[in-house]
């Protein structure tokens, strides 16, 4: 996704354009997935990630987002357990690395390359180092050992240095050797509460260095529970018949690079939006990307909520407001916007045990629909108490307030959806399911680990 602080900054636009021109995402062939015809099932968990902990590639949103989905895998020989934030909007996976300890305990949030016999730094003359690093704010360079040196930047404009390296990754099935990742120095502040185990990030977009491309995964699927944010991630060809039939929408591909179009993103065609059953009148608005690539619609597990371009957001906001103004009390503070971009908020008395019935919001795609219903359309602002009321905000926000040029569908809105990313057929399949039940069933049927 394209993010910039000021929509009128031409230098940044040119820079982004040059980066895109130089480092095109390469679509890869998915035929030789090493675990072909096998499913790897991994439980998903959600964690509150302290703001500033995750470095953001230059092309990602700059705001702090809190709740992230994590998955536990192993890296190295012998395997070290690591917990990674899943991000379908980033390319390169990276780990916080530290050589300091001579042994590693399971709660240690660092990967220790010194304890892995299969750890191999990438040489700076390798093509991986020279051509394929579009997640970095500055191109990778050579360090004094001739290793590929990389920099990742954080939301607060600080940065983290490290090396590109390769090592063996395990997802519960056969070990996958030679996976390229960023081994970043761990001189970060892990916040005051040391109870924090996340080691890094798993990049899952369509770029050539993403895990999906490196593993040549033909398909992956996930399901995020609405109650406790747990869920499952399936890597590989899955045939989970009890999910029912999926509705498919094609992945949008762009043959020419455009400044605001992220060609490595999971991009789909948005056709309309409904509130309850009322289709919004968006007849004056073009929902497709324009000649700059602005107006792209993408699914992104690395973003918590959903953001729509200003003109569309305004119409949605107005309709949602008019359908809720008799049952909910709008917060009358024009200066308040939750996470900078969600400015439709309500005051709900603390002694009110449940929210009134809420209108659903449906995103209509070419061939499929995503209905966000019930309490999922609102989010209780943490520690947002005013008087005797708690504050709830609409979970759709305004991209314009973030300086973002796209429609981004975050993981909150993807709860209780079976989401299948079918890369061979270049499409996304969706079905409304109850993910806690499906997860139990999938895990309960012994789908944990490889299957024929």
Ligand X SMILES: *[C@@H]1O[C@H](CO)[C@@H](O)[C@H](O)[C@H]1NC(C)=O
Binding to ligand X by residue 239, rule CB under 6 A?
yes
Rule CB under 6 A: say whether 107 interacts with ligand X: yes
Q: Give min distance, CB of 303 to ligand X, in A.
A: 13
Residue with Cβ nearer ligand X (258 or 271): 271
- The yes or no reply on residue 310 touching ligand X (CB under 6 A) is no
Interface segment toward ligand X; rule CB under 6 A; list 32-40, 151-159, 195-203, 244-252: 195-203
17 sits near ligand X (criterion: CB under 6 A): no
| Residue choice 283, 291, 357, 446 for contact with ligand X (CB under 6 A) | 283
Alpha carbons 118 and 168: distance in angstroms, whole number: 7
Q: Does 187 bind ligand X (CB under 6 A)?
A: yes
Task: Quote the least distance from Cβ 357 to ligand X, whole Å.
Answer: 16
Q: Which of 57, 121, 203, 207 binds ligand X (CB under 6 A)?
A: 121
* 235 vs 49: CA distance, rounded Å: 24
Q: With CB under 6 A as the contact rule, which of the stretches 18-26, 169-177, 250-258, 276-284 interacts with ligand X?
A: 276-284
> 5, 189, 256, 284: which one contacts ligand X (CB under 6 A)?
284
Comparing C-alpha atoms, which of 231, 140, 220 is closest to residue 439?
231
Residue 191 beta carbon to ligand X: minimum distance, rounded to whole angstroms: 7
Closest by CA to 85, choosing from 77, 75, 95, is: 95
Active site residue 167: no
Query: Count of residues binding ligand X (CB under 6 A)?
Result: 35
Among candidate residues 87, 135, 262, 422, the one labeled active-site is 87
Is residue 100 near ligand X by the rule CB under 6 A?
A: yes
Out of 135, 167, 300, 422, pick the active-site residue.
Answer: 300
Q: Are strands 389-394 and 396-398 parallel, antiparallel or unpaired?
A: unpaired
Count of beta carbons in the 10 Å neighbourhood of residue 18: 11
The stretch near ligand X (CB under 6 A) out of 193-201, 396-404, 414-422, 430-438 is: 193-201
Asked if 143 is an active-site residue, the reply is no
Phi, psi (5° rounding) for residue 229?
60, 20
Q: Considering only 33-41, 44-52, 149-157, 355-363, which stretch makes contact with ligand X by CB under 6 A?
A: 44-52
Residue among 18, 37, 48, 385 that touches ligand X (CB under 6 A): 48
8 near ligand X, rule: CB under 6 A: no
Residue with structure tokens 């997935």?
33
Min CB(19)–ligand X separation in Å: 28
Minimum distance, C-beta of residue 335 to ligand X, in the bound complex (Å): 16
Residues 365-384 that bind ligand X (CB under 6 A): 382-383
Q: Which of 177, 244, 349, 449 binds ligand X (CB under 6 A)?
A: 349
Q: How far is the CB of 315 from ligand X (least distance, A)?
A: 9
Q: What are the residues binding ligand X (CB under 6 A)? A: 47-48, 50, 66, 81, 98-100, 102, 106-107, 113-114, 119, 121, 186-187, 195-197, 239, 241, 281, 283-284, 322, 325, 339, 349, 351-352, 382-383, 387-388
Residues with catalytic function: 87, 300
């Amino acid at each position: 996704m394209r993010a910039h602080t000021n929509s009128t900054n031409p230098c940044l636009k040119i820079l982004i354009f040059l980066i895109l021109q130089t480092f095109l995402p390469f679509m890869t062939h998915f035929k030789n997935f090493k675990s072909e015809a096998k499913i790897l099932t991994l439980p998903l968990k959600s964690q509150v990630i302290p703001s500033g902990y995750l470095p953001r590639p230059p092309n990602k949103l700059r705001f702090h987002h809190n709740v992230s989905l994590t998955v536990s895998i192993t890296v190295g020989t012998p395997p070290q357990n690591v917990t990674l934030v899943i991000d379908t909007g980033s390319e390169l996976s990276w780990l916080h690395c530290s050589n300091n300890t001579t042994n590693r305990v399971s709660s240690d949030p660092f990967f220790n390359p010194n304890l892995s016999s299969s750890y191999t730094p990438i040489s700076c003359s390798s093509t991986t180092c020279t051509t394929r690093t579009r997640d970095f704010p500055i191109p990778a360079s050579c360090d004094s050992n001739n290793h590929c040196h990389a920099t990742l930047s954080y939301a607060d404009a600080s940065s983290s240095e490290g090396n590109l390296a390769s090592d063996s990754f395990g997802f519960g099935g056969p070990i996958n050797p030679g996976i390229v990742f960023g081994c970043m120095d761990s001189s970060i502040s892990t916040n005051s509460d040391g109870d924090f185990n996340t080691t890094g990030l798993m990049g899952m977009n369509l770029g050539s260095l993403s895990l999906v491309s490196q593993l040549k995964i033909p398909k992956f699927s996930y399901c995020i529970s609405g109650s406790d944010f747990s869920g499952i991630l399936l890597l590989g060809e899955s045939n989970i018949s009890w999910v029912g039939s999926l509705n498919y929408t094609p992945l949008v591909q762009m043959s020419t690079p455009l400044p605001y179009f992220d060609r490595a993103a999971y991009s789909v065609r948005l056709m309309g939006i409904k509130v309850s059953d009322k289709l919004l009148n968006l007849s004056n608005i073009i929902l497709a990307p324009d000649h700059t690539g602005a107006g792209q619609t993408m699914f992104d597990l690395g973003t918590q909520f959903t953001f729509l371009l200003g003109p569309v957001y305004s119409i949605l906001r107005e309709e949602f407001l008019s359908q809720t103004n008799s049952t909910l009390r709008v917060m009358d503070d024009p200066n308040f916007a939750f996470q900078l971009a969600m400015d439709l908020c309500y005051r709900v008395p603390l002694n009110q045990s449940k929210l009134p019935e809420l209108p659903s919001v449906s995103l209509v795609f070419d061939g499929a629909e995503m209905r966000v219903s019930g309490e999922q359309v609102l989010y209780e602002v943490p520690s947002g108490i005013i008087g005797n009321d708690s504050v709830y905000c609409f979970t759709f926000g305004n991209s314009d307030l973030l300086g973002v040029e796209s429609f981004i569908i975050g993981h909150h809105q993807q709860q209780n959806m079976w989401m299948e990313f079918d890369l061979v057929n270049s499409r996304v399949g969706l079905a409304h399911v109850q993910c806690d039940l499906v997860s139990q069933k999938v895990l309960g049927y012994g789908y944990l680990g490889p299957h024929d």
